[in-house]
Chain A
Amino acid sequence: MKRSLLRLAGIAAVAGLWAVGAAAQAPNFSKYVALGDSYGAGYGSGCLVVREQRFSYPAQLARSFGITDFQQPTVSDPGIPTCNQITSLTPTFGPISKNTGAPTNAALARSYDNLSVPGYKIADVSDKTTDNGGIADLILRGRGTQLNQALGLNPTFITLGIIGNDILTAGGAGFLQDGVTATPLALFTAKYNAVAAALKASGRTGVFLGTPDPRFIPLASTIPYYVVDPKTRQPVRDAAGNVIPLYGTRDTGDPRCKVGPGGKVCPLPPGTEVTLGASAPQAALGGKSLLALGFGIPCSVDATLPKCDFGLPDGSFTPPATVTIGVVLYPDEVIAIDQRVRDMNAVIKSAAEANGFKYFDFYALSQDLIVNGRTYAGIHISTSFVTGGMFAYGEAVHMSNIGYTILSDELIQFINASYGTNLERPNIATALFTPDVPAPGTTGAIGPAASVDFTEEMWRGFFRSFPFQEESFELVFPAEPAAAVERAAPVDRSRVIRVPRKRL
């Protein structure tokens, strides 16, 4: 009997300790502040607009936390910059209006709870106070850096979601080069650790989001490395039934390499990623895209294409400040970018754990979403551009309202699992069935555009969302063969496109 009583007392003591421990770890959601980039801002169709901002993961987390006064830098239709839309099912894309929207919460007398700024790298979080009238100023409003404003709000729970601007530019530009398309890992590590340490505080918990697999974004995953019939969207095959690789300009040593009219071209090896830039009509190409002109396509497939047997251009950097945008990521580049993402995620995970925060593995989630998508009661959502539903019609990088709700749902399930909480999951049905179209009364609406597949403006928009390491870089987009093949020649200034400033 005595032994039984002792055993009961022991069980009770352990249970009590467990209860105390659980209570000590339970997060306090009363004041939530989000630090981050475009994904945190709810930047979808190439813009900030309130009909998409309300689906940002910070906004959805706040609703799940029961916070009723979560403030965001909301913008009215047609958005800032002007949102993109799909204007026909060819598909064609274009802006939804000739106008831009206006801030609708600029008079808030304190900092926003969602301080996420599109385009932000980790260094910007702690260092940047203005972008001279750009989108950062719309959000920061001269009140200090993102980090300082966040600390000033004295949050009990934070999310830090710098998920790609330090590396994903490499995916869009077609090459990885520290200081040009990627933040050097040492600098990233130092900055991330400093931000994490600054956020650490007694009683404060939160989640740091990792970086997704670059292949997650449609910009890099939509166009295969082989020739596709533009009408049927099915692979073109040779007599043996094999797919026919597109040509690139890099000498891969493949015995099928040949000298074409623009120089040596080689079949793209399996594992190569071709960006949507290859299908973006360009003014410099007479309003046609590289693929439409025949770049990358063997003349044996279609000899009528004016640029058949020319290679799809690779990206490069010419010192001191010229970036030539490519549309091809060779397998070694894909592997290098992927390794850098993994290294960055290791830094983020380490910083989170060292400072009392949780690490959310967005990389694993993105791979899961690539393979499985998500199905809700028979409604399947995939990462396929245009038809999959997970991505918006911006630069083929940002998620749609549906995609951001899926991300929010995963984050909430992660928080519940990590902290033993029982937070309400978001309502995905709202995102699934709410048309993402301009609000009634939106002025300056534009009808169907003439561009096909992916516009030059959307392509440029990518580099606004994922800027290069220096704003002073000049970008040269793939243009006429003369420029493509005479890469060593002085840059033709008439074809240099400066990165447009973010508009307000």
Chain B
Amino acid sequence: MKRPRFRLNRISLPLALAAFLAAVPAFPAGFQVMTQGAKATGMGLAFTAVADDPSAIFYNPAGLGWQKHFEAQIGAEFLTKVKGDFEGSNPYPGNGVSEKQHSTTFVVPNVYAVVPLTNELNFGLGINSPYGLGFRWDNPETFSGRFVSQNAVIQTVDINPVFSFQATPTFSVAVGADYRFSKVQLERNNAAINPLTNSVVDVAHVKLNSKIQDNHGWGWNAGVLFKPIPQFSVGAAYRSRIKIDYEGTANFEQRLTGTPFDALVAPQIPRGSHPVQTKIEFPATLNLGTAFTFPGDFLVSLEADWTQWTSFKSLDIHFPDLPGRDLHRDDEWRNSWAYRIGLQKKFGAMAFRAGYYRDKTPMPTEDIGPLLADNDRDGYSLGFGFGTDRWGIDVSDLYLKVHDRNNRGHSNDNFYGTFKEAVNVFAFSLRVAF
């Protein structure tokens, strides 16, 4: 009797990915999401030199070298934009204009499994969403930036198999692959001058969309972890760039003004569905960390994370069957650093955690606008864990305060004002070892 084989066919693959896409992150540094485990989240994401649970597959897979049992971990992060305000200024959209981003809670699940193959060699598999974006504005039909963006979404699902090899009792190395599925969605209105009034009117709505199962790319990752003594460790983890070429559809709908102008505009709007192409080059990352365990089971973890955001040079949207409608947007992003500190104090089976980090934005002031407005942020976290070698539960909460950012005099979109954001992330993880 033949054993049924699991195949990621055209039906099961979208369903499998959708389980992760039901939750899409919304508020990254740039659009990176580092909250991929409750324990790490509780320690301010300073986990590269700790990496002592299955989420090490994401933070530093070399940490699997010290995990000698089959282990599985599931978890989720609940990300809520607690503040997403914009206060406009002259010349556009003008003083006194207030806008709000759509506030909702996104759920980002993650799954990790560790399988020891030999005493030194481990296999790990992680599924998570390390990049994402949800920048959606309330009242999209009146939002003052609606001709740039009403809603921008990037979703990713990574399948991340890794192998770790503990070369010596104090040193482990790991290498793995990243297979990333992704989709993008962009919505905005088009403007025109209504000659009858010599003023601006909305004449069309454009929605670009792609399917998650149709767009994917490969990358690789590696990590090292060195523990010369039990009380000290130093680690590094690297993930390569991943380029994804997207293909999707663009839908154009005419917005009627109720004037004779509609008839003049109609022939110029390519109503219906048209193919569209774009690409995103997700950045490489390098995480460097060290951790000290002081007497009394008090752990201090320090980390510096570098992200090569210069890979994100432009947003290019190509309409193969609509000559002259291609869009090009320069995005001169800079490489960025984040600096983290995490603390953990254990009392038997219980662990209390805290963390802080300062994450520098990759976005120059000129680039912030309705599509995305990022800035330096401070993250404050608290966490709690309870468990044994066989099982464990971790919960944590991270409050992310994005510094207010004013782009007075510096806006490529000519969209001026102050952006104010704050995000709360609640995370939990369940771990079982066999």
Partner of B191, one of A378, A388, A435: A378
Interface 9-mer from A97-105, A128-136, A323-331, A424-432:
A424-432
A89 and B195 contacting across the interface, CB-CB below 8 Å? yes
A378 and B148 contacting across the interface, CB-CB below 8 Å? yes
B196 and A89 contacting across the interface, CB-CB below 8 Å? yes
Q: How many residues of chain B get a CB closer than 8 Å to chain A's CBs? A: 33
A425 to B144, CA, bound (A): 18
Partner of B195, one of A86, A402, A428, A432: A86
Interface: A436 (CB within 8 A): yes
Interface: A401 (CB within 8 A): yes
A378 and B188 contacting across the interface, CB-CB below 8 Å? yes
Residues in A neighbouring B370, C-beta threshold 8 A: 377
A373-431 interface with B by 8 A CB criterion: 374-381, 386-389, 392-393, 400-402, 405, 409, 424-430
Minimum C-beta distance from A357 to chain B (A): 25
Residues in B neighbouring A88, C-beta threshold 8 A: 260
B52-107 interface with A by 8 A CB criterion: 90-95, 97
Minimum C-beta distance from B354 to chain A (A): 41
A389 and B193 contacting across the interface, CB-CB below 8 Å? yes
B148-203 interface with A by 8 A CB criterion: 148, 188, 190-200
A433 to B94, CA, bound (A): 12
B144 and A432 contacting across the interface, CB-CB below 8 Å? no
B195 and A378 contacting across the interface, CB-CB below 8 Å? no
B195 and A377 contacting across the interface, CB-CB below 8 Å? no
A377 and B91 contacting across the interface, CB-CB below 8 Å? no
Minimum C-beta distance from B350 to chain A (A): 52
B90 and A377 contacting across the interface, CB-CB below 8 Å? no
B90 and A425 contacting across the interface, CB-CB below 8 Å? yes
Partner of B91, one of A86, A376, A434: A376
Known A89-B261, A89-B264, A428-B92: A377·B197 in contact at CB below 8 Å: no
Partner of B200, one of A425, A426, A433: A433
B188 and A377 contacting across the interface, CB-CB below 8 Å? no
Interface SS majority for chain B: loop
- Closest B residue to A385 by CB, please name it: B195
A387 and B193 contacting across the interface, CB-CB below 8 Å? yes
Partner of B415, one of A91, A377, A393, A405: A377
Interface: B132 (CB within 8 A): no
A402 to B192, CA, bound (A): 13
Interface: A437 (CB within 8 A): yes
A83-98 interface with B by 8 A CB criterion: 86, 88-89, 91
A386 and B414 contacting across the interface, CB-CB below 8 Å? no
B415 and A432 contacting across the interface, CB-CB below 8 Å? no
- Closest A residue to B263 by CB, please name it: A89
A427 and B415 contacting across the interface, CB-CB below 8 Å? no
Known A427-B94, A429-B93: A377·B198 in contact at CB below 8 Å: no
Known A424-B90, A429-B144: A379·B200 in contact at CB below 8 Å: yes
A376 and B196 contacting across the interface, CB-CB below 8 Å? no
Interface: B130 (CB within 8 A): no
Interface: B145 (CB within 8 A): yes
Known A89-B264, A375-B414: A426·B196 in contact at CB below 8 Å: no
A139 to B415, CA, bound (A): 38
- Closest B residue to A427 by CB, please name it: B94
A376 and B92 contacting across the interface, CB-CB below 8 Å? yes
Interface: B332 (CB within 8 A): no
A402 to B200, CA, bound (A): 10
B195 and A386 contacting across the interface, CB-CB below 8 Å? yes
B365-413 interface with A by 8 A CB criterion: 369-370, 413
A132 to B261, CA, bound (A): 42
Residues in A neighbouring B232, C-beta threshold 8 A: none
Interface: B147 (CB within 8 A): yes
Residues in B neighbouring A91, C-beta threshold 8 A: 195
A417-476 interface with B by 8 A CB criterion: 424-430, 432-437
Minimum C-beta distance from B200 to chain A (A): 5
B193 and A377 contacting across the interface, CB-CB below 8 Å? no
A433 and B199 contacting across the interface, CB-CB below 8 Å? yes
Chain A: interface size category: 35 or more
A27-47 interface with B by 8 A CB criterion: none
Residues in B neighbouring A437, C-beta threshold 8 A: 197
A121 to B275, CA, bound (A): 56
Interface string of A354-385 (1 = CB under 8 A from B): 00000000000000000000111111110000
A200 to B147, CA, bound (A): 46
B196 and A381 contacting across the interface, CB-CB below 8 Å? no
Minimum C-beta distance from B168 to chain A (A): 54
Residues in A neighbouring B146, C-beta threshold 8 A: 378
A424 to B92, CA, bound (A): 12
B188 and A426 contacting across the interface, CB-CB below 8 Å? no
Q: Which of A377, A386, A434 has the most CB of B within 10 A?
A: A377
A91 to B261, CA, bound (A): 11
Minimum C-beta distance from B278 to chain A (A): 17
Residues in B neighbouring A392, C-beta threshold 8 A: 198
Residues in A neighbouring B192, C-beta threshold 8 A: 387
Residues in B neighbouring A379, C-beta threshold 8 A: 147, 191, 200
A436 and B197 contacting across the interface, CB-CB below 8 Å? yes
Partner of A378, one of B197, B264, B413: B413
Minimum C-beta distance from A365 to chain B (A): 15
A428 to B192, CA, bound (A): 15
Known A387-B195, A389-B193, A429-B92: A377·B148 in contact at CB below 8 Å: yes
A405 to B200, CA, bound (A): 14
Known A426-B91, A429-B92: A377·B199 in contact at CB below 8 Å: no
B403-431 interface with A by 8 A CB criterion: 413-415
Q: Which of A393, A401, A429, A435 has the most CB of B within 10 A?
A: A429
A375 to B193, CA, bound (A): 12
A82 to B171, CA, bound (A): 88
Residues in B neighbouring A375, C-beta threshold 8 A: 414
Partner of A436, one of B91, B92, B190, B198: B198
A435 and B199 contacting across the interface, CB-CB below 8 Å? yes
B413 and A393 contacting across the interface, CB-CB below 8 Å? no
A377 and B94 contacting across the interface, CB-CB below 8 Å? no
Residues in A neighbouring B97, C-beta threshold 8 A: 429
- Closest B residue to A434 by CB, please name it: B199
Residues in A neighbouring B197, C-beta threshold 8 A: 435-437
Interface string of B126-148 (1 = CB under 8 A from A): 00000000000000000011111
Residues in B neighbouring A381, C-beta threshold 8 A: 193
A409 and B199 contacting across the interface, CB-CB below 8 Å? no
A89 to B198, CA, bound (A): 12
Binding site for B on A (CB under 8 A): 86, 88-89, 91, 374-381, 386-389, 392-393, 400-402, 405, 409, 424-430, 432-437
**Which 10 pairs from chain A and chain B are nearest by CB?**
A378-B147, A435-B197, A389-B193, A427-B94, A377-B415, A376-B92, A428-B91, A429-B94, A436-B198, A425-B91
Given contacts A389-B200, A405-B91, A433-B199, 13 further A-B contacts (CB under 8 A): A88-B260, A89-B195, A89-B261, A375-B414, A379-B147, A379-B200, A381-B193, A426-B91, A427-B95, A429-B144, A433-B200, A436-B198, A437-B197
Binding site for A on B (CB under 8 A): 90-95, 97, 144-148, 188, 190-200, 260-261, 263-264, 369-370, 413-415
Give 22 A-B contacts (CB < 8 Å), ordered by A residue.
A89-B196, A89-B260, A377-B145, A377-B370, A378-B146, A378-B188, A378-B413, A379-B147, A386-B195, A387-B195, A393-B198, A400-B198, A405-B91, A409-B91, A425-B91, A428-B90, A428-B92, A429-B94, A429-B97, A433-B200, A434-B199, A436-B198
